[in-house]
Structure 1
Amino acid sequence: MTRRWVMCMLIGLSMSMSGCNGVPSSLVLPDGAHRVPVNQQLPVPPGASLSLDGACP
Structure 2
Amino acid sequence: MYLLSRIFLFLTKSYETAQKEREEAYLAESADIYDLEFRMRKLDREKAGRNPSWMNHYS
> TM-score per shorter chain, which class?
0.3 to 0.5
From the two aligned structures, give the one with the greater helix fraction: 2
Structure showing greater relative contact order (alpha-carbon pairs closer than 8 Å, 6 or more residues apart): 2
With the length of structure 2 as denominator, give the TM-score of the two structures: 0.35
Q: Which has the larger radius of gyration?
A: 1
With the length of structure 1 as denominator, give the TM-score of the two structures: 0.36
